[in-house]
């Protein structure tokens, strides 16, 4: 038997973070079709979202009870989730266990964020746009290959989700129950 040591993080051969089933990037890149990130506020809504096919959960409160109720990745705007959505002007550090998700609303923000932070996960938001779907699709054209794009429209229909999927969006944030097929 060989007495070589297994790779360690300091060897740059092992991951910096523990391998976990709660990686948002893994959940949305390895599923079939577009992933749904569903807003939840507690254990019951987390269980309901998971039962309806959510790929991840957008927590608005009760993170620990959500974590106990579901094995899906938890996305937050504050500390405590598996992934954290930050604004384009973010300049702080996150824990190595938390995936960075950067929210952009304009082409200039996207270009600046890609240059400064080079995030793997991007939220393409369109809350103030006259044509939200078209706005997100326009932003998507500037997202480099290899990045994961998450659409964020204030209200969304099933037809719009289907169009986002055809265009190559990886996931969509849902603040309301999933639109019927």
Q: Name the more confident of 6 and 64.
A: 64
Instruction: Assign 3-state DSSP to the chain and report helix, strand, coil percentages, each to 5.
Output: 30, 20, 50
**pLDDT band, very low/low/confident/very high, at 129 (cuts 50, 70, 90):** confident
Walk me through the domains of the chain, giving residue ranges and CATH numbers. Answer: 16-174 (3.20.20.70)
Q: Can you give the pLDDT at residue 181?
A: 54
Q: Can you give the pLDDT at residue 127?
A: 73
Q: Is the pLDDT of residue 12 over 60?
A: no
- Predicted structure pTM score: 0.85
Q: Do residues 124 and 140 make contact, with C-beta atoms less than 8 angstroms apart?
A: yes
* Chain centroid offset of residue 42 CA: 19
Give the model confidence (pLDDT) of 13-36 as tens digits.
444 444 445 899 999 998 789 999
Q: Can you give the pLDDT at residue 119?
A: 94
Cβ count within 10 A of residue 27: 22
């Amino acid at each position: 038997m060989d007495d070589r040591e297994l790779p360690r993080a300091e060897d740059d051969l092992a991951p910096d973070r523990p391998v976990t089933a709660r990686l948002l990037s893994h959940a949305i890149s390895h599923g079939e079709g577009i992933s749904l990130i569903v807003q939840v506020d507690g254990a019951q809504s987390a269980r309901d979202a998971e039962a309806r096919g959510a790929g991840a959960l957008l927590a608005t409160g009760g993170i620990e009870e959500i974590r106990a109720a579901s094995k899906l990745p938890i996305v937050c705007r504050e500390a405590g989730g598996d992934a954290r959505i930050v604004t384009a002007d973010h300049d702080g550090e996150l824990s190595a266990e938390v995936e960075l998700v950067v929210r952009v609303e304009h082409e200039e923000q996207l270009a600046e964020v890609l240059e400064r932070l080079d995030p793997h996960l991007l939220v393409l938001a369109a809350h103030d746009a006259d044509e939200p779907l078209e706005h997100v699709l326009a932003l998507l054209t500037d997202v480099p290959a290899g990045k994961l794009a998450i659409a964020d429209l204030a209200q969304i229909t099933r037809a719009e989700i289907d169009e986002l999927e055809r265009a190559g969006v990886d996931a969509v944030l849902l603040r309301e129950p999933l639109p019927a097929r």
